[in-house]
A and B are shown apart, each in its own frame.
Chain A
């Protein structure tokens, strides 16, 4: 059931429409809403991608989805509810999509507050170009429990990561999640696998070089930041770390491959080279190898890539601070200078 309103700022009318829409399909019985899911989008090229994933998440988790569309593609307000039967119960999902391109930040923030269901978690997925420079972002983030961003992609870069670093000190009580970092978990696990073997672990403390190939900057920076923060490396210069013994560790970032994807990670120790690289036969498999003094046979590991929708769900379900991410982010911010 979908209904349209012309005025995006008349929240009473929007809520009334929502109520009518909810009851249009009959009595929904027990109604459960577990979160306010606020989604901001301003990139026309990215809009459908974002809206589709937001909808998929909202369908799974009973929620009030508030879409703030700043792309000019939405005029007025679209109000809709969807119901589905599930084991005898009726699950209701509510969606309010508002065209906000002509609204100032105060109006948008006020809309979000008035349309949110009180006393439940608010999750903000911000896909806007600007973060802290946007007063809308700051205003909504201030009232959110979790903020989700994606610093990866063409329109993103070092500036986004710098801003995220600032975010941590501006909003210490808000759980920040970056899809770009969350996507790296399989790679982090594979790198860690090399050193689960006690015989190879010492090499972790004699790394002499780091090389990461990826299709966009954020992945390489985050992986380097993660390694640096885990191993207590300091920043030597923009493209090099320094370990606890003062040894310089050059960091080479190779821009190659698909956006948001890592192609390979190479760690060089004093006498061995640890390489995790996408298999040529199957891009969903990574070949792990050690060459040199501690050489081992190639081991194939399935790349446990998690879809973006699932990553968003994970961010929502784990609504707490991720200290590993936060220390990695601060390391990257320091690296960028």
Chain B
């Protein structure tokens, strides 16, 4: 078993100059390896995130980056390509010397095929050279930014050349796995079996960039750093919870991937289920990663199973046709590149879940996600029950039920909708909104999720990453829906216009319960 080398305890605690200094710097030296280094994710998100971590002085003193991909290029070409990516996509603008030169010198590139063991031997050689020349101390973070089908191959190859954590004489190894973790329950379990042959669960960081967003982290702060919400956060006061992840974009050139994914796999099974877990979980006993993840697991394992014959009653799906987004015409899904003209892949999914526990018994959780909707908008809305007895308000006044909304994107904040008396001699009642916005409330701009999450993985903080038991539970929960939806049958697609609120069956699902969706 490898010995973990960490400078954290002696480095930070024993330096008397550190007292009172609020530093986010990662202490452990490390090399981070990006598999899929020629891909869009690496260029648009990962390398700009790394550079911004450097600009923020968050990276450790000794760090290195290795790009691994099939494309044939030199170290120099890779550095130039990544500089262009930073210049184009970094939130802090173009890369400049002397920091860029210093950053670039720590970047190397390995050209190779994922199933070629020789390429991995070359990777090992480069890692050892980094340890010796750049002081990275044997600590390795592998980032699988590859298509999901290659995850297992990469992990097997790492083990084959002695780069698995069990082979290390010193230092730690961790692996970041991009979503989706499997394409269904069976494939997820198979992938997990391959991963755990090489890495322990504590060394696996399943990334869900939604969890890196500041408002998502604030869900726990709102609930557990305040006393006024928890007493009413239960079936006695909550009528229902609506979780929305709406996008205006289409498949953005990823039609090939999306055809095999769909909204249920792409969004509901991971991002949206994670939000459900955070909003429904019991208070953890500490902020420790495993204490939080234990509570999330309990919620997901309490989801009431959906019988396949009730799928039609508790779910709805849709596919967008042509329409208008921000006044501009956009094609329908079936007209998108690499999409089957008769595709039955859903671009919109909504599911009604119940959490069968003491707190949430019979409170419906409505989850929805879709592409090409009216607005880019993600939120969790906690809708409270109505007042038990009406004493105020004139006959025509509508007494609204209270709603607490956690806004995730693009707005980030919290709003509360409650009733107030309209000034005047009569007791007219009107709904008003009290709003908190991160940007104006704290005067700071949240760092992009990838910066936060890569930094956390380098620190070894798994709080914002998804543990296997939660992934498995989420797959178990959606499998009956997935099975039903993948049956070959006639589907009336497309069934919603691009730029609309979504398909009519989704509205009907709530209307049948005597409720309605919040407007997107």
Q: Chain A interface (Cβ within 8 Å of chain B)?
A: 27, 29-30, 60-61, 86-89, 91, 185, 188-189, 191-193, 195-198, 201, 204, 227, 230-231, 279, 281-282, 285, 287, 299-302, 304, 310, 313, 317, 322-324
Partner of A304, one of B12, B56, B423, B443: B56
* Contact residues in B for A310 (Cβ distance below 8 Å): 443
A201 touches B14 (CB 8 A): yes
- The answer to whether A60 and B433 have CB atoms under 8 Å apart is no
Docked complex Cα distance between A61 and B99 (Å): 35
Chain B residues with a Cβ under 8 A of chain A: 7, 10-12, 14-23, 25, 27, 54-57, 61, 96-99, 102, 407, 411, 413, 415, 423, 432-435, 437, 440, 442-443
Q: Could you say which residues of chain A place their CB within 8 Å of the CB of B434?
A: 30, 89
Q: List residues of chain B with CB within 8 A of the CB of A188.
A: 17, 21
Selected A-B contacts with CB under 8 Å, 27 pairs:
A29-B432, A30-B432, A30-B433, A86-B435, A87-B407, A88-B415, A88-B433, A185-B21, A188-B17, A189-B23, A192-B21, A192-B23, A195-B15, A196-B27, A197-B11, A197-B61, A198-B14, A201-B14, A204-B15, A204-B17, A230-B16, A231-B16, A282-B96, A282-B98, A287-B98, A299-B102, A304-B57
B443 touching A60 by the CB < 8 A rule? yes
Check if B415 sits within 8 Å of A87, measured CB to CB.
yes
Given contacts A282-B96, A299-B61, 18 further A-B contacts (CB under 8 A): A27-B423, A30-B433, A60-B440, A61-B443, A87-B407, A88-B415, A88-B435, A189-B57, A192-B15, A193-B25, A204-B17, A230-B17, A282-B99, A285-B99, A301-B57, A304-B57, A322-B20, A323-B20
Contact partner, A196, options B18, B407, B415, Cβ 8 Å:
B18
- Given the complex of chains A and B, what is the CA–CA distance between A322 and B97 in angstroms? 36
Which chain A residues lie closer than 8 Å to B54 at the CB level?
Answer: 302
Q: Which of B20, B407, B443 lies in contact with A324, CB distance below 8 A? A: B20
Q: A192 contacts B17, CB within 8 Å?
A: yes
With A60-B440, A86-B435: A195-B407 Cβ-Cβ less than 8 Å: no
In the complex, A314→B7 CA distance in Å? 30
B17 proximity list for chain A (CB < 8 A)? 188, 191-192, 195, 204, 227, 230-231
Set of chain A residues within 8 Å of B443, measured between Cβ atoms: 60-61, 310, 313
Shortest beta-carbon distance from A53 to chain B in Å: 13
Known contacts A302-B56, A317-B442; is A198 also within 8 Å of B19 by CB?
Answer: no
The answer on a CB contact under 8 Å between A192 and B18 is: yes
Q: Cβ of B11: which chain A residues have Cβ within 8 Å of it?
A: 196-198
In whole Å, how far is A79's beta carbon from the nearest beta carbon of chain B?
A: 23
Contact A204 B16 (CB under 8 A): yes
What is the bound-complex CA distance between A197 and B62, given in angstroms? 11
CA distance A304 to B22 in the complex (A): 12
B424 to chain A, nearest CB (A): 11
Q: Which partner residue on chain A sits nearest B435 by CB separation?
A: A89
Known: A192-B18, A204-B16. A281 touches B98 (CB 8 A): yes
User: How many angstroms from the CA of A227 to the CA of B96 in the assembled complex?
Assistant: 32
Closest 4 CB pairs of A and B: A324-B20, A89-B435, A192-B17, A60-B443
- Residues of A contacting B442 in the complex (Cβ-Cβ under 8 angstroms): 317
Contacts of A196 in B (CB 8 A): 7, 11-12, 15, 18, 27, 61
Tell me, in angstroms, the Cα distance from A64 to B23 when the chains sit together: 33
Q: Specify which of A91, A193, A282, A324 lies most central, judged by the most chain B CB atoms within 10 Å of its CB.
A: A193
Q: Which residues of B contact A27 (CB under 8 A)?
A: 423
B21 touches A87 (CB 8 A): no
A279 to B98, CA, bound (A): 8
